[in-house]
Structure 1
């Protein structure tokens, strides 16, 4: 089995850059439309990394690799998003201490935490399933089409 570390690094770098680009676009769009762009960095990065994997390995990911990609991409995406939230709150709290206090109050509110968890799962579960499907049957079809003789 191939080491997947470089693919995880590619995913992280692509996702981070695309998140910044999409963040600028979202800031320019009305808030009703902006929510649609939340998953774009993840999806685009996932597709680019799959293409890199297929080109370099000349095969579709195995079942074990498919699971590792799905879990790894989800962990990377949500970890850097949580870190981004914390860094954002800290940056804004430097100029206004009330921002940090309000953040801590929200983190102690069970209703807010449950609503946040539900919203996170509404995005995390579909992204995981899409990745799992795409790195399985779809990757096999892509590999067959790319490398047919």
Structure 2
């Protein structure tokens, strides 16, 4: 799913590409909760919510970083100097500031949505599926 979303993100306009960047995260978040509910027959505890939130966000950023480096690798076949240019630009203060803002703008909402989804929404789903919350 991530590969398909990544390919579509490169073809579509920027606004839609952001949706396709986050779509695999949302699908995996829902799938993991569904599997957890089926297996444990209860909503996650606060500690489990924190662990799921941290794990899913870590995977999200690792997939995006791997996509970034695979894109660089792919580009380096035709332009070998792209690595030197990227390293030089990556450690510029302005670039680091943009990366930090990008991280905050995407990570904080994902953390909030995931923590909420594995809390109140999970309780509602467990109540509907099994007739109890815990």
Q: Is this a same-fold pair by TM over 0.5?
A: yes
| 1:111–1:69 distance in 2 versus 1, CA, 3 Å | same
Report runs of 4+ in structure 1 exceeding 6 Å deviation: none
- 1:54-69 alignment, distance < 5 Å: 54-69=37-52
Question: Do residues 116 (structure 1) and 67 (structure 2) align?
Answer: no
> CA separation in 2, counterparts of 1:27 and 1:89?
14
Corresponding residue for 2:4?
Answer: 21
Aligned counterpart in structure 2 of residue 97 of structure 1, from 80, 97, 116: 80
- The total of aligned residue pairs comes to 132
Deviation at 1:114, TM superposition (A): 0.8
Structure 2 unaligned regions, length at least 5 = none
> CA separation in 2, counterparts of 1:36 and 1:139?
23
| 1:83–1:28 distance in 2 versus 1, CA, 3 Å | closer
Deviation at 1:41, TM superposition (A): 1.0
| 1:145–1:69 distance in 2 versus 1, CA, 3 Å | same
Secondary structure of the 1:114 match is: helix
Secondary structure of the 1:97 match is: coil
Structure 1 unaligned regions, length at least 5 = 1-17
- 1:129-144 alignment, distance < 5 Å: 129-144=112-127
> CA separation in 2, counterparts of 1:48 and 1:79?
19
Aligned counterpart in structure 2 of residue 70 of structure 1, from 53, 59, 62: 53
Deviation at 1:94, TM superposition (A): 2.9
> CA separation in 2, counterparts of 1:34 and 1:76?
19
Corresponding residue for 2:32?
Answer: 49
Corresponding residue for 1:12?
Answer: none
TM-score by length of 2: 0.89
